[in-house]
Amino acid sequence: DTEVTQTPKHLVMGMTNKKSLKCEQHMGHRAMYWYKQKAKKPPELMFVYSYEKLSINESVPSRFSPECPNSSLLNLHLHALQPEDSALYLCASSSLVSHNEQFFGPGTRLTVL
Amino acid sequence: EDQVTQSPEALRLQEGESSSLNCSYTVSGLRGLFWYRQDPGKGPEFLFTLYSAGEEKEKERLKATLTKKESFLHITAPKPEDSATYLCAVRTAGGTSYGKLTFGQGTILTVHP
């Protein structure tokens, strides 16, 4: 199984809402990533988890809060977002012992009104 | 600072017209160069990993090559279904066991029937 799944596929939220994005992989990967991608731009790294611990936070605003409950799951909690946060949010995972190819999920299309 | 530059930004081909996409990089300690394909609104799909100059990888109509300064993605006799954005990314030495990728801006490939 080389699949990373993400839910929901689409999310529309107001600036006062609280919502969560979910990501799951069953490849045994111990590194998981959150990326943000704006239209016609490459993915931008937000967070990296290694062995369920936060390893990298790319100076992301605190209105984005990641969580890694176990080795297969990764969440991104959203609160008080701004319209400019509207983007495609991508989850990825990779092995820590092989060539580190990152496998991406299909993404969640987020719209903040 | 690590830099990845892809060219051209956009490429339009007729079906069957072979061509190449370029990815040039300036990094301190290459730990892998990755090619991804991305369809609109979807997550990047992993294609190839290259590690050392002279290495080549092939998959169907695609062939990736690597030199010390750049990588090429050759597309032989493309079909309309090859239309997508092709992303190049590099992983550099950084003292971590996971991959922090630096992406190029991508090449938008359109293949006309």
Tens of pLDDT, residue by residue over B29-77, are: 788 999 999 999 999 999 999 999 999 999 999 999 999 999 999 999 9
Answer yes or no: is pLDDT of A67 > 60.
yes
Closest chain B CA to residue A109: B41
Q: Do A104 and B43 touch (CB under 8 A)?
A: yes
Nearest to A32 by CA among A81, A76, A77: A76
SS3 B10: strand
Tens of pLDDT, residue by residue over A83-112, are: 999 999 999 999 887 567 899 999 999 999
Min distance B1 CA to chain A CA atoms (Å)? 16
Residues in B touching A50 (Cβ below 8 Å): 96-98
Residues in B touching A42 (Cβ below 8 Å): 87, 89, 103-106
Answer yes or no: is pLDDT of A18 > 90.
yes
**What is the C-alpha separation between B25 and B42, in angstroms, rounded?**
25
Nearest to B72 by CA among B104, B45, B96: B104
Closest Cβ opposite residue B49 in set A48, A88, A99: A99
Q: Does residue B111 sit at the A interface (CB-CB below 8 Å)? A: no
